Amino acid sequence: MNWQAVYAMYSFEMARFFRTITQSFVSPVISTSLYFVVFGSAIGSRIQEVDGVSYGAFIVPGLIMLTVMTQALSNASFGIYFPKFIGTIYELLSAPVNFIEIVIGYVGAAATKSMFIGLVILGTSALFVDLKIQAPLAMLAFLVLTCLSFSLMGFIIGIWAGNFEQLQLVPLLVVTPLVFLGGSFYSISMLPPFWQTVTLFNPVVYLISGFRWSFFGIADVPIGISLLAISAFTVICIGIIWWIFKTGWRIRS
């Protein structure tokens, strides 16, 4: 392993994050605060408790997941698309690094950034609502796995994208709807039975449900299935990336 190269890629990507600190850090904090003002106070005060949890607290795990997923996706996809776009990818391709090292460097950085943002939102939330985390280790595990798997998926999108429009396409048309409809702001038990069944085909439901379980001990689906789902998703993403580098698809002519 060329750990020196992994470190170089990782720290270079992290430097981009800190250089654009307003964009990468302040904007998620502001948007989270707005969610709390709107959902937590304005609307939330008129909503009853969900499964014994105040609505303001109930949406915290969903909000964190929502932000973490979109941030991991956009950071990772942009991180690898940008070198392709401006041509600096030549350096990666001609360097003595293999795909595992590139993925650890780029995906690792994107996952770290989104993890960081997730923790910041958790901290911001604590200012608005009373939070108790029932299973902190499980909470961290879900957070890490989500950051990782969505960064892997973002990496795939970044490699696949041929222009900026395509870069936005998957997050906008696929991921955002799945996240919003995945129970970020509601329990799926609130839905009519038919839609409950449909929702079970949404993979994001398992992530949000598991994450919420680690906070409040309540879940839409069994925690074991949640863990299995996120692990399977991670493995599938790794498999696709392995194939991309093996064939040189969209990167090496």
Partner 1 sequence: MKGSVMTAMVSIDAVGKSYASGFEALKGVSLDIHQGEILALLGPNGAGKTTLISCICGISRPTRGVITVGGHDVIDDFRAARRLVGLVPQEINLEPFEKVMNSVRLSRGLFGKPRNDAFLEKVLKRLSLWDKRNARISELSGGMKRRVLIAKALSHEPRVLFLDEPTAGVDVELRRDMWDIVAQLKADGVTIILTTHYIEEAEAIADRVGVINKGELLLVEEKAALMNRMGRKELRIELSEPVAAIPEGLSDYNLRLEDDGLTLVYPYDVRKERTGITRLISDFGAAGLLLRDISTRQNSLEDIFVGLVKEQDGDAA
Q: Which of residues 232-251 bind partner 1 (CB under 8 A)?
A: 248
The least CB distance from residue 92 to partner 1, in Å, is: 7
3-state secondary structure of 53: strand
H or E element that contains 93: helix 89-94
Instruction: Pick between residue 23 and residue 41 the one whose CB is nearest to partner 1.
Output: 23
Strand partners, 50: 53
Supply the minimum distance, in Å, between the C-beta of residue 74 and partner 1: 17
Residues binding partner 1: number (CB under 8 A) = 28
62 vs 158 by CB, closer to partner 1: 158
Going residue by residue from 5 to 24, which x/- string records binding to partner 1, judged by CB under 8 A? Answer: x-xxx-xx--xx--x-----
Residue tagged 């720290």 (tokens): 11
State the greatest distance between any 2 C-alpha atoms of the chain, in Å, as a whole number. Answer: 59
252 touches partner 1 by CB under 8 A: yes
* Binding residues among 72-131 for partner 1 as defined by CB under 8 A: 82-83, 86-88, 90-98
Nearest CB to partner 1, comparing residues 2 and 166: 2
CA distance 234 to 154: 12
4 is a contact residue toward partner 1 (CB under 8 A): yes
Angle, helices 55-86 vs 3-19, to 10°: value is 110
CB within 8 Å of 21: residues ≥ 6 apart: none
Q: How many CA atoms lie within 13 A of 211 on its CB side?
A: 30
Report the interface residues with partner 1, using CB under 8 A: 2, 4-5, 7-9, 11-12, 15-16, 19, 82-83, 86-88, 90-98, 248, 252-253
